[in-house]
Structure 1
Amino acid sequence: MKLGLISLGCPKNLVDSEVMLGIIEKYHIEITNDPEAAEIIIVNTCGFIESAKQESIDTILSMAAYKTEGCCRYLIVTGCLAQRYAQELFQDMPEVDAIVGTNVYKDIAQVIEQVMQGQRVLHLSETDFEKINLEGLQGNERNLPDPRKLTTPSYMAYLKIAEGCDNFCSFCAIPLIRGRYTSKPYEQIMAEARELVERGVKELIVIAQDTTRYGQDLYGKLRLAELLHDLNGLSGLKWIRVLYSYPNTFTDELIEAYATLPKVCHYVDLPLQHASDRLLHAMRRRDKLSETKKLLKKLRERIPDIVIRTTFIVGFPGETEEDFAILKEFVTEQKFENAGVFQYSQEENTVAATLPEQIPEETKQERYDELMAIQAGISEDVHRSMEDRELEVVVEGYESEEENLVAARSYREAPDIDGSIFVENAPGLNPGDFIRVRIEQGFAYEVVATRV
């Protein structure tokens, strides 16, 4: 029996996919990357914003076609879309044999057994969507399983330290899909990290919906800085990268950990969403612009070579030209090394979806284009300022073996979301090799380098 799995969405969803594959492997089911050859297909979906939902639906339908055109006998849908729209999918897509919620993906082997016995399965957690969004879910406990089949390159892996979110931003559907913030036990994280390093992982990427909140729910205090200290002590590990930080829990202790621990990349992923205090309040963000500026100043003063990546939302309900001007001024002033921009997506059952003054799609697109153009110019200036600088990079693979052109990343680039460093005239390298390069030329989203 062969099984194929398509994982959509964020790295956190990818870890769930890897856990499911790790469980499935124990049952001697062969894993294949070819959906045409798979008798069981799992689509681990994303349901965060409208474009992600559409991609998930399109993928489900394309995989369903293999029931007539390929070997597929059973189609299983998991992940955020499955959790959020379980009843609709179950009723409207008869070709789907099972719907599995976000908190019960560890039961995937039992679900497979049931569908092979001819049952059609709807398996969800007891999550009350409305209650989570408006009041918060009480006592939502999880048992996060450990077995994983890595789908990332062998030299890197994601380390998920928590599930769910307690921030309840007014635009965000994650709490109603994933539930309350639940830290993974400290010892379990360290055991998983040690195992990954023993398997040859050189770069650990720490993830959660909110990494900086780690430990508060379970231990009554923030423990990310402590966790970084212990991860830094793992022999054989080269880089530790942290994603999805929040400004209001980015403590001085954490800044000091970044500054002093040699394996922690000087790379801060800090989604800020906006710069207008009026909109930040409407978004239910806990930070104000003045506080954010103080944090950014503190980071840059303590860690001069820090790279700060952020994300912003344009077109949030009620965003005026004045609000947008404040955001543009902030981006221009701060000169973020990397920044992503999202157009606001009106998500049902979120507070923001009910707000007046919804922004027209045309205006969202115009503001998106304008802010992205500003950031592209900033990124190009940043990359040009790096010319003649030497960096250590990890080799990801050859873009062109004939030309010996290698794609690589330094501490400044996270996989998949940032640009690449293209190393010219670099024969004889393998993915996962660490080499030193000199930056020759910088562009908006990539740089060209030569090996030192």
Structure 2
Amino acid sequence: MSRGNLIRSLKKNIVLRKNTIDVITLGCSKNLVDSEKLMRQLEANGYKVTHDTDRPQGEIAVINTCGFIGDAKEESINMILEFCQAKEEGRLKKLFVMGCLSERYLKELGEEIPQVDKFYGKFDWNELLTDLGKAYHQELSLERELTTPSHYAYLKISEGCDRRCSYCAIPIITGKHVSRPIEDILDEVRMLVSRGVKEFQVIAQELTYYGLDLYHRQMLPELIERMADIPGVDWIRLHYAYPANFPVDLFRVMREKKNVCKYMDIALQHISDNMLQRMHRHVTRQETYDLIERFREEVPGVHLRTTLMVGHPGETEEDFNELLDFVRKVKFDRMGAFAYSEEEGTYSAEHYEDEIPFETKQARLDKLMALQQKISADLAAQKIGKIFKVIIDRSEGEYYIGRTEFDSPEVDPEVLIPVSEGTLSLGTFYEVKITDADDFDLYGTRMF
């Protein structure tokens, strides 16, 4: 049989599962929450929904895209094209695209990739239900189909961003900051607790701005304090804060409420005053050092995660060396970094020349991450012999995999406990003594 006849024969045997929709999520946890809300609505309308399956077989696919930086956009485009090919080969009947990339390039994508049945933005995905001939169930607006392990969930408290960092396209994509009403958030927390969720990753593009638009003051400390008082909330972890005008009452809440993890994800980007000014960060070198010092004084044992950028236009060797010195001095518990990539429509793209060669950016990034890897290894080694409260996420091969309060899912180190030590229940907390550590993970034994 010729290759062409073989392909035609195989296509005849393709069986698509009727009333099944595959949802594929790219990008950040904020996108994941949107996908989970869509999935709940689809299920309420009688569809069977799968998420990020290895072998999609539904009649319909929905891709939730990311449009933050060049690599993310490329990944989203490649995924769309892959599903377009599946549609052309008869392995898919309908393809829909939503999310940040679609929000930003709605018209262009529609013209360039006509195989997609329809593109939606980041905030109008409920129109997909109408286009499928289905209804949006308003009474389910707080509900979602969790794609995470059942004991933890991401909790999005706002959309958009009013910060105008020179390099960032997020405000262009998502618009101005819009806080969710505090009672809606608390109702969602109670609902999720009733379903067995114990741990909440509180997320937003910028946490510290929460409440200014609705209540005319920063409400993050009050929100977290009220969340912490809800029975069944065991851990609350905070992601994506901004250093300028930090709501300092949060220190008290983190210190007093035992279920608020001593963990803060605060994106600093740089330390050089030259770069902070060029990046439009509205914070100085000294203010950054002062904030970190105050954090560690007022919240003893806090673990700080940050994100840094190298290669922004105007970054000199002196600026970069100052950044290295900053990382050496501060010794962040967790750190991520990325190289600047020009994003159209941003201040940097329109006013600065992207003059630093790619090779220089990559060399700086590699040097920064190598420094942090050593710091992380040293800090992990200091945990050997200590006992931590650990929640078990899954079992994998010879180990149960868990996390301490200082570790967020997907991005931070994990704790590996040998299966041979006995049966552990997923989603349950255990006291674990750390016995060893490497650059990325901790190893421990359960305390009986």
TM-score norm. by structure 1 comes to 0.91
Question: What fraction of aligned residue pairs are identical, expressed as a percent?
Answer: 42
The alpha carbon displacement at 1:418 in A equals 0.9
- 2:133 is aligned to 113
Whether contact under 8 Å (1:15, 1:160) holds in the other structure is: yes
Amino acid at match of 2:243: P
**What SS class does the counterpart of residue 21 from structure 2 fall into?**
strand
Amino acid at match of 1:16: D
- The reply to whether residue 234 of structure 1 matches residue 254 of structure 2 is no
- 1:41 is aligned to 61
CA distance in structure 2 between the partners assigned to 1:32 and 1:327 by the alignment: 44
Q: Write the deviation string for residues 176-215 of structure 1: whole angstroms up to 9, x where unpaired.
A: 1000000001111111111011110000111100111110
> Residue 446 of structure 1: which of 438, 441, 444 is its match?
441
CA 289–6 in structure 1, closer or farther in 2 if over 3 Å, else same: same
Amino acid at match of 1:363: T
- 1:139 is aligned to none
Q: Write the deviation string for residues 76-100 of structure 1: whole angstroms up to 9, x where unpaired.
A: 0000010111112101112100100
TM-score norm. by structure 2 comes to 0.91
CA distance in structure 2 between the partners assigned to 1:149 and 1:111 by the alignment: 21
- 2:122 is aligned to 102
CA distance in structure 1 between the partners assigned to 2:380 and 2:90 by the alignment: 47
CA distance in structure 2 between the partners assigned to 1:103 and 1:38 by the alignment: 24
Whether contact under 8 Å (2:334, 2:376) holds in the other structure is: yes
Q: Write the deviation string for residues 147-172 of structure 1: whole angstroms up to 9, x where unpaired.
A: 31111110000111000000011100
- 1:30 is aligned to 48
The alpha carbon displacement at 1:249 in A equals 3.3
Question: Which runs of no fewer than 5 residues in structure 1 stay unpaired?
Answer: 115-143
After superposition, residues 243-392 of structure 1 pair within 5 angstroms as 243-354=239-350, 355-356=352-353, 358-392=355-389
The alpha carbon displacement at 1:228 in A equals 0.9
CA distance in structure 2 between the partners assigned to 1:426 and 1:399 by the alignment: 14
CA distance in structure 2 between the partners assigned to 1:205 and 1:106 by the alignment: 24
CA distance in structure 2 between the partners assigned to 1:249 and 1:175 by the alignment: 19
CA distance in structure 2 between the partners assigned to 1:16 and 1:98 by the alignment: 18
> Residue 418 of structure 1: which of 412, 419, 422 is its match?
412
Question: Which runs of no fewer than 5 residues in structure 2 stay unpaired?
Answer: 1-18, 135-139
- 1:86 is aligned to 106
CA distance in structure 1 between the partners assigned to 2:276 and 2:311 by the alignment: 13
- The reply to whether residue 431 of structure 1 matches residue 433 of structure 2 is no
The alpha carbon displacement at 1:48 in A equals 0.2
Q: Write the deviation string for residues 331-354 of structure 1: whole angstroms up to 9, x where unpaired.
A: 000000110011111101111113
| More displaced stretch, 9-18 vs 99-108 | 99-108
CA distance in structure 1 between the partners assigned to 2:89 and 2:385 by the alignment: 54
> Residue 403 of structure 2: which of 401, 409, 427 is its match?
409
- The reply to whether residue 168 of structure 1 matches residue 164 of structure 2 is yes
Whether contact under 8 Å (2:143, 2:188) holds in the other structure is: no
CA distance in structure 2 between the partners assigned to 1:432 and 1:55 by the alignment: 32
Q: Write the deviation string for residues 131-162 of structure 1: whole angstroms up to 9, x where unpaired.
A: xxxxxxxxxxxxx9423111111000011100
* Structure 1 stretches of at least 4 aligned residues deviating more than 6 Å after TM superposition: none
The alpha carbon displacement at 1:426 in A equals 3.8
Aligned residues: 420
> Residue 59 of structure 1: which of 79, 87, 90 is its match?
79
CA distance in structure 2 between the partners assigned to 1:383 and 1:32 by the alignment: 37
| Superposed CA RMSD | 1.4
The alpha carbon displacement at 1:9 in A equals 0.4
